């Protein structure tokens, strides 16, 4: 909340400005003065006034016109206005005071205690308004922070639900949700789509010889190899156990086989980290009218052919 409480005094006579200012100078206000309606309008756009004390009889633009213009502007329409004038005996003038949106009027000469009491009311209302604004600003910030936290939590939950806990690749559930969309896009746009099914050869021997912790380490290492080799648009998933599968958009079976060969050679190059394990690869390209189950089955069949033919090789279905 601002420490200052700005009040605007508008009068074309300097002595009147000084007199009004003297009455309220000890009330903890930031007193700003204007000698014309134009000055008042300019200042009203610069400050958030707690109160405007406005003379009616001024040259050029009278107080009623100034009040109407202040009320017509959404940025200033909430400013309370009290007319301070020598001429307010006519009933029509008194009616016009309230038609302009002013909250009250004082007739000169006025009792200083009355002016001070009115100013005190609007000073307190201003302070209360600023407290409420601060509260709602803080509330909006809290809501914004909580909304961001919930969004991040939701994204984290979605990511975890789609990710294999051990390898951090996509899990089978996410793969099953992704493949139909990939098939649809391939058919709609007419580009090739391929799958690579992978099985780590003799993986059970690692678990039996070195324990499951070391077996998990091999799976993590192999997942890292896949991430380093595949493209950003490819989707690699842990199919189950020591089996993996990759979706390759815009890829023919020949190009997929070449990628599988790169992965196979990378396993050999990282033999120590892989405990000497090799991998068998089955490759299939989407055929016209084929559904996702048939597509996966052909890649899986090709992978089992690779294993039956001696492992550590790539077979294209």
DSSP letter string, the chain: --S--EEEEE-S-HHHHHHHHHHHTTSS-EEEEESSHHHHHHHHTT---SEEEE-S--SSS-HHHHHHHHHHSTTTTT--EEEEES---SHHHHHHHHHTT--EEEESS--HHHHHHHHHHHHHHHHHHHHHHHHHHHHHHHHHHHHHHHHHHHHHHHHHHTB-TTT-SB-HHHHHHHHHHHHHHHHHHT--EEEEEEEETTHHHHHHHH-HHHHHHHHHHHHHHHHHHS-TT-EEEEEETTEEEEEEET--HHHHHHHHHHHHHHHHHTTTTTTT--EEEEEEE--TT--HHHHHHHHHHHHHHHHHTTSSSEEE-
State residue 98's pLDDT score: 79
Looking at domain 6-134, its CATH superfamily turns out to be Response regulator (3.40.50.2300)
Between CA 243 and CA 288 the distance in angstroms is: 26
CATH 3.40.50.2300 in the chain, residues? 6-134
Per-residue pLDDT 10s for the chain (317 aa) are 457 899 999 999 999 999 999 999 999 999 999 999 999 999 999 999 999 999 988 888 999 999 999 999 999 999 999 998 876 666 666 788 778 888 988 888 889 999 999 999 999 999 999 999 899 999 989 999 998 988 888 888 888 788 999 999 999 999 999 999 999 999 999 999 999 999 999 999 999 999 999 999 999 999 999 999 999 999 999 999 999 999 999 999 999 999 999 999 999 999 998 999 999 999 999 999 999 999 999 999 999 999 999 999 999 99
- Helix-helix angle 292-308:172-189, to 10 degrees: 110
Tell me which of 3.40.140.10, 3.30.450.40, 3.30.420.40, 3.30.70.270 is the CATH number of domain 172-316.
Answer: 3.30.70.270
State residue 1's pLDDT score: 42
> What positions carry a catalytic annotation?
242
CATH 3.30.70.270 in the chain, residues? 172-316
pTM for the whole structure: 0.58
Beta bridge partners of 8: 32, 52
State residue 87's pLDDT score: 67
Between CA 79 and CA 34 the distance in angstroms is: 16
């Amino acid at each position: 909340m601002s420490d200052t409480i700005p009040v605007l005094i508008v009068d074309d006579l300097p002595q009147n400005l000084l007199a009004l200012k003297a009455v309220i100078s000890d009330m903890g206000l930031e007193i700003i003065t204007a000698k014309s309606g134009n000055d008042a309008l300019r200042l009203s756009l610069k400050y958030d006034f707690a109160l405007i004390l406005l003379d009616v009889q001024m040259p050029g633009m009278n107080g009623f016109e100034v009040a109407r213009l202040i009320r017509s502007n959404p940025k200033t329409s909430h400013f309370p206005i009290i007319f301070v004038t020598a001429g307010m005996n006519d009933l029509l003038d008194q009616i016009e005071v309230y038609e302009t949106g002013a909250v009250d009027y004082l007739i000169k000469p006025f009792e200083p205690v009355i002016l001070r009491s009115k100013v005190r009311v609007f000073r307190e209302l201003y302070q209360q308004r600023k407290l409420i604004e601060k509260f709602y600003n803080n509330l909006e910030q809290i809501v914004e922070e909580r909304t961001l936290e919930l969004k991040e939590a939701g994204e984290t939950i979605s990511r975890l639900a789609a990710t294999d806990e051990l390898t951090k690749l996509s899990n089978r559930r996410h793969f099953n949700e992704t493949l139909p969309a990939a098939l649809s896009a391939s058919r709609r746009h007419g580009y090739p789509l391929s799958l690579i099914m992978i099985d780590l050869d003799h993986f059970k021997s690692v678990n039996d010889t070195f324990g499951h912790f070391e077996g998990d380490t091999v799976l993590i290492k192999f997942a890292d190899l896949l991430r380093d080799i595949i493209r950003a648009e490819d989707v690699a998933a842990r199919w189950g156990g020591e089996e993996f599968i990759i979706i390759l958009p815009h890829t023919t079976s020949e190009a997929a086989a070449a990628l599988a060969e790169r992965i196979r050679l990378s396993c050999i190059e990282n033999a120590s980290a892989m405990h000497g394990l090799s991998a068998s690869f089955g490759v299939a390209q989407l055929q016209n009218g084929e559904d996702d189950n048939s597509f996966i089955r052909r890649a899986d069949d090709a992978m089992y052919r690779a294993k039956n033919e001696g492992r550590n090789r790539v077979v294209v279905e």
